[in-house]
Homo-oligomer: A and B are copies of this chain.
Amino acid sequence: MSLLVTGSIGIDTVRTPYGVSEECLGGSAIYFSMAASFFNPVRFVGVIGADCPYELSEVFAGRDVDLAGLEVRPQSKTFRWTGTYHEDMDERTTDRLELNVLAEAPPKVPVSFRDSKFVFLANTAPLLQLELLEQIREPVFVAADTMNCWIQEHTDDLKKLLKKIDCLIINEDEARLLACEQNLIKASQMILDMGPDEVVVKKGGSGSLLCSSDGEKFLLPAFPADDVKDPTGAGDSFAGGFMGYLAQKGKANFEILRTAVAYGTVTASFTINDFSLKGLTSINKSDIDDRLEALREMTRF
């Protein structure tokens, strides 16, 4: 079933204890699309400036990613992020952030994309997420990401958004911040009370937690990674695997959501194996399936 993503395209410079990757392609929509395209065709909505050194049609060559929603603004500059990961790879510092084109009006959803059924609204201002979502006629399942600054400074907008989406995908610290509650199980329930039917809490190297408004819970450890080079894009790759699998199945009951979380987990585990997109571009779907089965074997009892 159709799957649409709205999110950022960025030029990233990343330092980790394992090396430096300069001016590489990143951004939420990029990682999401690369990950989701293993499962389902992707409709891409995002905006860059004239300075972007990457040709996205080449980046996604051979993958079913429809770039009709890519807007290039000749007078603008592409979003740029420079960050450093520390020894504990679950923690990072933003060294430099240039919003550039992301500080302007968001791109429009092309008319041909407005019948999309599965929608992922990557992290941005909740008001923009709402504006983008309003352009989709009858979505079946909408998931969104958010972050600290929106939780703290755009709370009302975020709460409006939460009433319109089916699933919030959020980091554990953000979940605690949003719910004003330290206990993650209680925090998840409080987020469900704000609107969405599902909340996925990502805990980095500690796995993830899916809670449903009907009381069901699913807990999954992270795939055991002994070769983490660059965690950039892990969260958006998780969302890509998760939403890609749901769109492929065409529905999102709890049984399917469990497997979607597992696919999100293993897809993200490839992302962090290498810098930038290399972890995802060097594999195929059978590698993901093999790792899913390995994770299943390592978690059964």
Partner-B contacts on A (CB < 8 A): 87-89, 182-186, 189, 203, 205-207, 209, 217-221, 224-226, 228, 258-259, 261-262, 295-296, 298-301
Are B217 and A298 touching (Cβ within 8 A)?
Answer: yes
Are A226 and B186 touching (Cβ within 8 A)?
Answer: yes
- Of all chain B residues, the one with the shortest Cβ separation from A208 is B221
Are B224 and A301 touching (Cβ within 8 A)?
Answer: no
Are A226 and B262 touching (Cβ within 8 A)?
Answer: no
- Of all chain B residues, the one with the shortest Cβ separation from A263 is B301
Bound-state Cα–Cα, A130 to B231, Å: 42
Contacts of A207 in B (CB 8 A): 206-207, 219, 221
Are A221 and B224 touching (Cβ within 8 A)?
Answer: no
Contacts of A299 in B (CB 8 A): 218-220, 299
The smallest C-beta distance from A188 to any residue of chain B, in angstroms, reads 9
Are A218 and B186 touching (Cβ within 8 A)?
Answer: no
Bound-state Cα–Cα, A220 to B295, Å: 11
Contacts of A261 in B (CB 8 A): 301
Contacts of A300 in B (CB 8 A): 258, 300
Contacts of A89 in B (CB 8 A): 182
- Of all chain B residues, the one with the shortest Cβ separation from A258 is B301
Given A258-B301, A299-B299, A301-B261, are A182 and B219 neighbors across the interface (CB < 8 Å)? no
